[in-house]
Structures are given as structure tokens and as C-alpha cells.
Amino acid sequence: MQDKINEIEKSIDDAVKDVESSKTLQEIKMRFLGKTGEISALMKNMREVPPEQRPSMGKLLNALREWTEERFNAIEKRIKEFELKRRYSEEKIDVTLPAKVTDDGAYHPNTLIRRELISIFSGMGFEVFEGPEIENDYYNFTALNTPADHPARDMQDTFYISSDLLLRTQTSAGQIRVMENKKPPIKILSPGKVYRSDDDATHSPMFSQMEGLVVDKSITLCDLKGMLDEFAKKIFGAGVKTRLRPSYFPFTEPSVEVDVSCFECGGSGCRLCKGTGWIEVLGAGMVNRHVLEGCGIDPDIYSGFAFGMGIERIAMLKYGINNMKLLFEGDTRFSKQFKG
Amino acid sequence: MKAPLSWLKAYVDIDVTAEELQAKLFSCGFEVEELIEVGKAISGVVVGEVIECSPVEGTHLHVCKVDCGDKGIFQICCGADNVKKGIKAPCALVGATVYTTAKDHVTIEGVATIKKGKLRGIESDGMLCSGAELGLNGDMYEGAEYCGLLLLPKDSVNGSDIKPIVGLDDYIFDISVTANRPDCQSILGIAREVAAVLKKKLKEPDYSYTAVKADKKDIKICDLAPDLCPRYIGHYVKDVKCAPSPLWLRQRLAKCGLRSISNIVDITNYILLELGQPMHAFDLRTLAGHEINIRRAGDGEKITTLDENEFTLTHDNLVICDKDKPVAIAGVMGALNSEIENDTTEVMLEAAKFARDSVRKTARALGQHTDSSALFEKGVNEYTTERAMARALHLIEELKCGTVTDLHVDVKTENSHTEEKKMTVSVKTINALLGIEVPAKQMVEILENLNFKVSVKGDEMLITVPRYREDIDGYPDIAEEIIRFYGYDNIEGTFLPSAAITNGGFTEEQKAENRLKDILVAKGLYEISTYSFYSQKDLDMLHFAPDAKERKAIRILNPITEDLSIMRTTLAPSMVNVIVRNLRRGNTVGKLFELSKVYLADELPVNDFPEERDKLSIGVWGKYDFFDLKGIVESVAGALNVKFEYKPCELPFLHPGITAKVVCEGVDVGYLGVISPKVAEELALERTVYVAELDYEELKNHRKPFKYVPLSKYAEVTRDLALTCSVATTCAKIEKEIYAACKYVSNVKLFDVYIGEQIETGKKSMAFTVTFTPKDEPIENKIDGFVKKILANLKFKLDITLR
């Protein structure tokens, strides 16, 4: 019997010597361990073995079976590893081949800036109000304390569509509509298109503005500065400072021009800031008492500030766009750069 | 506003550099747009004395020895005809920079660096200069107009820098003055601010004069248009002697860009610059009846101005007239008929205030913009009008060009304002506005430096406003004056410490709009923005009929060009123009959208606020087709949670077979289609272009909130049905009938269409995947029944059979 066992062990060794695939291994395995396999056949022969020899025979055969199973398992493990490695090398690709591209859309730069501004100010409690683009003289000028003979009202600057109706020249017109219908506390943003009869390298007859207005009790010039500091940091970077300097707008008093320290050079002077270290970004001021009065808000109780900025200007500064016309041409080579 | 530093120094002791002054002016609200260094191009030119001078035979040249003091003695060859021993002239040393002039010896062509050279073989170590070579003319320096050497005073020191001697050591501040400060449109006005910012005393110009008794009968002045001319002052000057003005006056005019004419005219121009009050001088001989009538012009009335232009006037123009005729367009320009001549002996000087609106409209209507009209447009104050007349009379006396009489006619109308404005302002209120604590003492000091009179009573300041400060209206203006000089750097940011909490953010409608854009961008579209105006030509481009509703566009009364003259009624022309531009630039593929307004008037011309409707315009070209575009439109429906139906339709610029109107809940909301071959050919489109336009304003009414539908416990079941139908049967009809036949159908999706040999002529095969969604019980065993019902319905309604 031992001879038989030795013979089987030897024939297993011979059979698995050159096995390279798990399929062949499986066949060999069946040859020995299958229901009709050689080891099973020996097991069946147990009946013919005299009873007294059966326990020792059984032990031998079980040992053989275990040895065989272990052997096959070990070989199988080796072959699987080998096969996986072969598959890895066969399936290897050039990962530097180009990507399969899906169409990427892009927002207009104005939308990106507009959303960024709204997100900054809505966090501070501002609502968004959009007034009409076609306004009348009252909302665009008179109510904004722009006297009848003010140069800004002249035909040169304003597009008129009738003696009274015009294309709004400033989103400030929206201020009045809000203040007429809402009592303080007021915090609104009024974004939108505005129109001026100007057309050259730095002016477009249509552009966009974002107006902000705060009216409440005890609002000060320091509050205006504080809010604009926050805005400048959020939109241009944490290190950016603001500077106020005197200016004039009919609907604010005092009026200021607001500069931010140059975010390109940090204030040391470069091409972007024309060597001054500062960039003009917006106009602002304390709401003129006449404007509040005209809207039925008592200026002895309430005060407020307003600020207005050109969205295209902010976009051009932030993204380094060198020509305003590009914003209105719809050239896909331009558009695709603003993935947002 | 141009202000020479040398002139400002006449009124203020300026002890800072030009750059420092620039910074100071900036801090108090006067931005210096350009600081012009007068003699910037000139360097290395010194006083040289010709100590030897001998002609070079056979030429016009002289060889000279020039003594340049501590710089040395140089041999210089000179071609000027006035070179001779003993003169002093500007000497450009080797390495100096001077202007080069054209053959006329006047026109400046560029800047040259002087090198060692040889003229006709004679060494020349420098160059003796003319006035023009230093950038000077006769108004800037006596004799500088001469084509030869510029002769310098005998007492100038050899070798010293030429610039201070000829006035080239100056700076000109080009200052931007805000619209609320017309009082600063003058040298004196700027000087007042300079004095305040430097805390120096202002030296006022001399306004004194002595009047002699006029031996003349009266001059009659009658203001017939007090609304346009609130104040008019006339003054009679006799014994006028026209002559050139002295150098100091000519120099000041020249630095501000004005040409000297003769003393009387120069004085009026000088006052215009110095005080900001335009003046005019009439030759009394030409004033018929010695009368001045200020009135509106008659329609069609004519006048020829000093510059020999004839104008036809209207009722809107204000004119100064004598007894018979207009002698000036008020505030704009005098007439040729009353011009000061060399033999003028009697003059009536005019100083007046004209309404700014009137002058602006006249100047613009006539296209006649003058220094005078510019000042009146910005606004002249009567304090200055009064002062200007006195100052002019003083100068007439000083220049000895006439005898000032006591004949002075001052017409004050009901629109004239000469009273001083007084106000009471609380220190506390000002600080409450500013948000900082400026001490009262400093407030008073700042205001006094600006010529406000202030007396303090407890918390209150009693303030008298200088008459020329017509912009000061209430305490915020006072607060601004204070912070301007106290310094904006003292404003420390605070964050609304006392304001009420407000609830910010977007409205639902604004959020929906953001979402729509997000989805379109996610679908690979680029957002564009185009002008809200175009022209009727753009509507022609898309073949809109003359009576199409799109033609009913609002016209801009004063467009920049005809191309931008009407407010758009549809976005399609803008989109097509953008695509045409892209194709011309080689951008052969694209997907674009624009969400913008159109402007619709009930009637034209408009007399009420027109309707502004949001429209969504989409354009695709290149590798995309109709169904790509339809897919985008479907995404819009998805974004708004609505269903669209599509029906064939025709539009003038679209292919009639490949165009659909979009219907939402029974309402037409837009269209999509392909640009017709005819339009495509006219526009030379190299790719097929698809456009859609949706009425987003209408869609807002249909937008529905998203709601969760509970999931069924049971699995959905799908069945594929291949149907045979007439080629004319539309997909939408079949879908509709499948839905109608069974309430469990949740989706019907076409996956194949076949027309060909395998099927009889006139028929097509369409294959659909139908999805059945169970409700409260499994439906697997019912599907066969559903399908039978669907097929029966299709057979009955559309004569469709299973293939």
C-alpha cells in the first residue's frame, strides 16, 4: 500500500511540475481528488482491506489526501499570483493618452463676480433687489439728488427713449424703489445692467453695476469702511487694505472713492496699479439726507451708506482681462476660460 | 484744471516740493491727473557769454569762445545772425538735451542730445540756443520768438542753470475737480485749498482801483431773461490804449495754454484763469445806443462770432444785444461786430452769471465749446462775479491800459443770491456721522482755514459759509470738509455695531435662475452677454417681416450709432451675430446661452415703462444637431420641473421642416430650429447653426417645486415594442397614446426608427421601451394585459400594428 501511495505522490509531483494555468491544475486536481480520481479509488478499495488493517490504512490514506490537498492549494496560490501578474502586464496602458473629454460649460465672468459679490454680502444680511433697466427721470436722477442742470443728465451721457424715460445710468436708481417700499433696517444689493453713451477702449455703452445700500439707526462712515474692508479681503485676498479718499456723488455726502491696495504687487507699485500701489475699485458715501427724505425716511432718525462698483471692472482686475469689448463678443476661446 | 506751481506761489507760501503738494492735494480730494514738469526735456543748458566771435569765411557761421563760468570756456560754432561778442545766450553743453526744430525754426520735432561736433571742419563743443530750442515762445520769454539766439539779461551769471532764468523750472498740476466744486476751477480756487491743506495764510489778489468820474452818458443794461442770467455787471473804462501785455501776464497765460492778444483781452482771459470768472470786453463804439439787452435769441437770428463762424440761433440761446443786434452769445463767445480793435478807446467790461444749463445747451447745440462756456456750465458764483470785475479794473490800472470810471451798472435779478449762508451744526452730530471723535477745536481750525467763519456755543458751531461755497448745504457737507482735512486715514473700520439683524440672500426666483444657469453650464454651454440694443438691420438679417411684432422696437432717441439704435425685442439676432463672429474667427464648434431681457412697448413711441421680459437664448453649431439642442431645451424643462411639448412650426429665419415650437402647459414658450439654408447662405455660415429662444419670463409662472415621490416596493418592468406605422405619424403622437392607454406607464422612450426594404413603402418601424411602474401591488402578471390594451389603442387611434 505504501508503495501505491508513494507512486501516487510521485505521479502528482510529475503532473504538476510544468503546470502554468489554473485550468490545467484543476484537471490534474480532479484526476487525483475527483469522485472518480485515483485517491478516491484507493478509498473505495478500503472495503477489500482486512478489518484489522483498516485503521492504519485509513490513517495513511487520509494523510495522503491532506498532503495532496495542501500541495494543490499551494500550487494554485502560486499560479493565481502568476496569472494576475501576467494579466497586469498584458492590460497595461499608456496613462498619458488623452482624456475622453465631456463638454465643459463656463459662466460669463460677470456671473462669476456677481455671484461672488452676492455671496459675500448676503452673508452680511443683504438681500438682492433687481430694478428695471428702463427707468424714468425721477428714479434715475431727481430722487438721487441730481439737480436738473447737473452735467450727468445731459444727452451726451444718458440714452433717452422718451422725454422722461431713459436707460438707467446707474443701479442707484434701484435704491429709491427699495426705500420707497421698505422701511429700515435696509440692507440691499442691486445688481444689473446700466447704460451710458460712451464707447471707447475702456468704456462700453452697456455694462453692469452692483449697488449696495444700508439704512438703519446710527450708521457711520466707519461702518462703511469696515464693510468695504471685509469685501476687499474676500474678493481680492486677505492681505488687501482699503483707502478712502474724498470724491463727489450727488446722492451721497460725504462721498468717497475707495481704493484697494494692489493685490498684484502688494502695494510696492506695478503695471496693474500704474506704480501707485493702489487700485480704484468703487465709489461710496453716506446717503444724502435729501435722498432719504424724498423716500419718506426721516434722516434725523436714520442714516445710511451706499456703494457702487462696476462688475466688469472687478472681473477685469481679478482675471486680468485687458479689453472690455471681449466681455460682450461671445468668442468661445474667451468664454471657455471661465469654468467657475 | 491746469495750475502752474509758480502761479499758485503768488497766493500761498508753498514750502513743499511739487510731489509733496500733489500728495497733499490728493488727500483732500483733488487728484492731480498729471504733474507736468515744464522744462523736463531740457537739461545741461547754462548761461554762456560770447567772449570772442569771428566769422568763418565763405559761410554764415561764426566761431566763438563762450564763457560758461565754472563749466569752462568752450569753442562753439554758431550760425545765428545775432551772435556777437558780449552777448549772453543759453549754451547747451556736450551731453545737454534740447528740442530740435524744423526748417521754420519754430516747430518742435523732437529732443536731441548735444555731442562734440565739427562744422565745416571747425570743432564745436556745444551749441548756443534759440528760444524755440528750449521750448519757449515770445509769451513765455521776451525775445524767445526770434529765430536767432535767445538773448539773456546781462546780469545773469555765466555757467548758471538756464531754467530759473527763463521760467522752465516750473510744474503744472493738471487737477481733476469734482462737479460739486466749481469754485476750484481757477488758480485762486486751488490756491485756497492749498493754503488750507498747508495751513498757510492765503494772499488774496489786489482788487483795489481808483475810479474817476465818467464824463459819459449812462450805459443802459436791461436783463430780459432773469432765469438765464441772474446777474450782470457792466463797467465803463475810457482812454483805452491797446498794447501788448507785460511779460509776467503773458507767461501765466502761456503756461495755461492761452495765447496773448492784447492787454484788455488778456486781462479778461487772465481773470478767467485766476478767478474762474469768464469776462468779456465790448468796444463801446459798436454798442448801438450804448445799450445792453440780455434776451433769448429769435428763431433764425444770426451772429458771427470772434472766430468768424456764423451761427443761426434759436429761442433756447441767450444773447447779449445792443439796441439793434446781438453782440455776444451769452457765456460762449463774443461777436465779431463788437471786438476790441487796436484803435479801441472805450470799453464796456462784462462780468455776469449765466445759468449753467442754458450755456451748456447752447454750447452743445452750436458745437461751440470755449473756456468760457466750460466754466459757466460748471457754475459761476456771484461772489466771484463781483470780485472779478474789481480785479479786472485793478489790472487795467496796473497795466495803465485805460482809465477806470465810476460808471458801473450792476443788474441783480430776483434769481441773484448775494446773502451769506449761515448754519448751526452740532459737533456731536458730525462725529456721529463720521463714527470717530474729532475734537471741536480741530473742527473749528479746519473750517477757519477754509474761510468759514465759526463761533462755538457749547456743542454747537455757528457757521457762516464763504459765499463762493455754493455746494455747502447741510451738516454732512460740513462733516465732509472736516474729514477731508482731518484725514480719511483716521476712519477706522467698524462692523455695524448697532445695526439690526437682517435676513439676506436670494429670493426663490433668483435661486431658480442660478439653478438654470448651473444646469446649462453643466451641460457644457458657455454663457454670453451681448448688448441690449441693435438695429433694424439685425432684424432684416433674420428676415422678419415689416409688420412682425419683433419690429415694434423701442428707439433710442440719441443712439451712439444707428447699429445700436433700438432696444431688442428678441435675442436671436444677437446670438446669430455671435455665432457668425465665432465662425469667422475659426471657432468651428460651440454651445452658447444668454439669459437677458427684451424690451416690449405697448405702443410706440413709448410713454410708459415698457415690459422687460427675461428670455433664454441658446445657439449650437459644429458637431451638434437639432436633437442636441432639443436635449438642452429638455434640461431647461427639467430645471424648472415642467414638461415641454414640441410642435412643428415656421419662423422666417428657420428651416420650415426642422423647427419646433415649444409648448408648456398649453402656452407657447419659444422655439428651436436650424437656421434656414437661405439665411445661412447670406451669412456665409460654414457650419449648420441651431438656435432656440425660450420665454423665461413665462416659464417662471410654470416652474414647480420639486417633490419626493415615494418609492414602490415592487420592481419596475420594461417592455420593448416594435411598431409599424405610417411615415407621417409623429413620435409624440405615439408616445401620447401609449401613456393614455395605461396609467402604469411611467416612461416611453424611442430607441430605433427604421424605414427601408424590410418594411412596406409608406410605412416605418418605430421601437419603444415602455416602463411600467407599480403602485401598491406587483404588476408583473398584468403586463401582458397592459401591452394588449396599448396595442389595441394604437391600432384604433393611429392604425399602428406590432411589427
SS3 for B728-762 is CCCHHHHHHHHHHHCCCEEEEEEEEEECCCCCCCC
Mean pLDDT over B486-507 rounds to: 89
Contact status of B182 with chain A (Cβ, < 8 Å): no
Q: How far is Cα B738 from Cα A59, in angstroms, rounded to an integer? A: 73
Which residue in the set A160, A223, A340 is minimally distant from B558, CB to CB?
A160
A291 vs B contacts (CB less than 8 Å): none
DSSP letter for B669, please.
Answer: E
B524 vs A contacts (CB less than 8 Å): 102-105
**pLDDT confidence of residue A151:** 65
Mean pLDDT over A147-165 rounds to: 80
Which residue in the set B357, B523, B564 is minimally distant from A105, CB to CB?
B523
User: CA-CA distances (angstroms) from residue B590 to B525, B582, B628, B684?
Assistant: 8, 9, 12, 17
pLDDT higher than threshold 70 for residue B216: no
The CA-based dihedral angle spanning residues A120, A125, A127, A128, taken in that order and rounded to the nearest 10 degrees: -10
pLDDT in tens, B381-415: 999 999 999 999 999 999 999 999 999 999 999 99
**pLDDT confidence of residue B410:** 96
pLDDT higher than threshold 80 for residue A201: no
pLDDT higher than threshold 80 for residue A124: yes
Q: Say yes or no for a CB contact (<8 Å) between B178 and A254.
A: no
User: CA-CA distances (angstroms) from residue B761 to B721, B755, B794?
Assistant: 21, 8, 20
In A203-262, the residues whose Cβ lies within 8 Å of chain B are: 205-206, 214, 216-223, 225-230, 242-248, 250, 253-256
Could you list the beta-strand ranges (E) of B199-257.
220-223, 231-238
Q: How far is Cα A231 from Cα A260, in angstroms, rounded to an integer? A: 10
The nearest CA of chain A is from the CA of B466 a distance in Å of 19
Q: Say yes or no for a CB contact (<8 Å) between B527 and A124.
A: no
pLDDT in tens, B356-376: 989 999 999 999 999 999 999
In A24-43, the residues whose Cβ lies within 8 Å of chain B are: none
Q: How far is Cα A222 from Cα A181, in angstroms, rounded to an integer? A: 27
B612 vs A contacts (CB less than 8 Å): 132-134
Which residue in the set B479, B496, B599 is minimally distant from A254, CB to CB?
B479
The mean-pLDDT minimum among A16-25, B113-122, B313-322 falls in A16-25
In A166-195, the residues whose Cβ lies within 8 Å of chain B are: 167, 184-187, 193, 195
In B370-399, the residues whose Cβ lies within 8 Å of chain A are: 377-378
Is residue B80 within a helix (H) or strand (E), and if so which, with residue range? Answer: none
**pLDDT confidence of residue B625:** 93
Q: Phi, psi at residue B645, to the nearest 5°? A: -115, 155
Contact status of A102 with chain B (Cβ, < 8 Å): yes
Q: Say yes or no for a CB contact (<8 Å) between A167 and B476.
A: no
A288 vs B contacts (CB less than 8 Å): 476
Mean pLDDT over B576-601 rounds to: 97
pLDDT in tens, B140-178: 998 888 889 999 999 999 999 999 999 999 999 999 999
Q: Say yes or no for a CB contact (<8 Å) between A159 and B520.
A: no
Is residue B726 within a helix (H) or strand (E), and if so which, with residue range? Answer: strand B717-726
Q: How far is Cα B279 from Cα B232, in angstroms, rounded to an integer? A: 11
Summary mean pLDDT of chain B: 94
Closest-CA residue of A relative to B429 is: A300
Q: Say yes or no for a CB contact (<8 Å) between B505 and A127.
A: yes
B530 vs A contacts (CB less than 8 Å): 328, 330
b/e burial code for range B166-189 (CB count within 10 A of at least 16 → b): bbbebbbbebebbebbbbbbbbbb
Q: How many CB pairs under 8 A join A and B?
A: 249
**pLDDT confidence of residue A13:** 83
Could you list the beta-strand ranges (E) of B56-87.
62-67, 73-78
**pLDDT confidence of residue A340:** 62
Q: Say yes or no for a CB contact (<8 Å) between B480 and A221.
A: no
Closest-CA residue of B relative to A285 is: B480
The more confidently predicted of residues B331 and A156 is B331
Q: Say yes or no for a CB contact (<8 Å) between A105 and B357.
A: no
Q: How far is Cα B529 from Cα B596, in angstroms, rounded to an integer? A: 8
Packing angle of the helix pair B371-378, B356-366 (nearest 10 deg): 140
**pLDDT confidence of residue A155:** 56
B609 vs A contacts (CB less than 8 Å): 132, 134, 136, 165
Contact by Cβ (8 Å): B401, B218: no
Choosing among A128, A183, A222, A228, which should be mutated to test the B contact, i.e. which has the most B CBs within 10 A?
A222
**pLDDT confidence of residue B669:** 97
Contact status of B24 with chain A (Cβ, < 8 Å): no
Contact status of B590 with chain A (Cβ, < 8 Å): yes
Closest-CA residue of B relative to A246 is: B29
Q: Say yes or no for a CB contact (<8 Å) between A206 and B533.
A: yes
In B617-676, the residues whose Cβ lies within 8 Å of chain A are: none
Contact status of A136 with chain B (Cβ, < 8 Å): yes
The nearest CA of chain A is from the CA of B801 a distance in Å of 40
Q: How far is Cα A46 from Cα B758, in angstroms, rounded to an integer? A: 70
The mean-pLDDT minimum among A23-37, B73-87, B301-315 falls in A23-37
**pLDDT confidence of residue B33:** 93
pLDDT in tens, A24-33: 888 888 888 8
pLDDT in tens, B743-767: 999 999 999 999 988 888 889 999 9
Alpha-carbon B704 to chain mean position: 45
Q: Say yes or no for a CB contact (<8 Å) between B477 and A253.
A: yes
Contact status of A129 with chain B (Cβ, < 8 Å): no
B520 vs A contacts (CB less than 8 Å): 105
Q: How far is Cα B48 from Cα B96, in angstroms, rounded to an integer? A: 14
User: CA-CA distances (angstroms) from residue B803 to A224, B723, B795?
Assistant: 75, 5, 12
Closest-CA residue of B relative to A223 is: B494
**DSSP for B579-618, written as a single string:** HHHHHHTT---EEEEEEEEEEE-SSSS--SPPEEEEEEEE
Which residue in the set B497, B500, B556 is minimally distant from A185, CB to CB?
B500
Which residue in the set A106, A218, A221 is minimally distant from B498, CB to CB?
A218
**pLDDT confidence of residue A152:** 62
Q: How far is Cα B241 from Cα B247, in angstroms, rounded to an integer? A: 17
Does the model's pTM come out above 0.95? no
pLDDT in tens, B498-533: 788 888 888 889 999 999 999 999 999 999 999 999
Q: Say yes or no for a CB contact (<8 Å) between B592 and A335.
A: yes
Contact status of A64 with chain B (Cβ, < 8 Å): no
Which residue in the set B480, B488, B503 is minimally distant from A125, CB to CB?
B503
In B256-275, the residues whose Cβ lies within 8 Å of chain A are: none
Q: Say yes or no for a CB contact (<8 Å) between A133 and B480.
A: no
Q: How far is Cα B325 from Cα B510, in angstroms, rounded to an integer? A: 64
Burial label for B514, CB within 10 Å (0-12, 13-18, 19+), is middle
Q: How far is Cα B654 from Cα B672, in angstroms, rounded to an integer? A: 9
Contact by Cβ (8 Å): B128, B48: yes
Is residue A209 within a helix (H) or strand (E), and if so which, with residue range? Answer: strand A206-217
Q: How far is Cα B188 from Cα B468, in angstroms, rounded to an integer? A: 12
Express the helix, strand and coil content of chain A in percent, nearest 5 each.
Answer: 45, 20, 35
Q: Say yes or no for a CB contact (<8 Å) between A220 and B435.
A: yes
The nearest CA of chain A is from the CA of B377 a distance in Å of 8
The nearest CA of chain B is from the CA of A141 a distance in Å of 15
Pairing label, strands B347-353, B2-4: unpaired
Closest-CA residue of B relative to A340 is: B521
DSSP letter for A160, please.
Answer: B
A222 vs B contacts (CB less than 8 Å): 434-436, 491-494
The CA-based dihedral angle spanning residues B50, B55, B60, B62, taken in that order and rounded to the nearest 10 degrees: -30
**pLDDT confidence of residue A12:** 84
Q: How far is Cα A212 from Cα A305, in angstroms, rounded to an integer? A: 8
The nearest CA of chain B is from the CA of A95 a distance in Å of 25
Contact by Cβ (8 Å): B671, B663: no
Band the pLDDT of B106: cuts 50, 70, 90. confident
Cβ-proximal residues to B100 (8 Å cutoff; 6+ apart), any chain: B108, B109, B110, B111, B112, B133
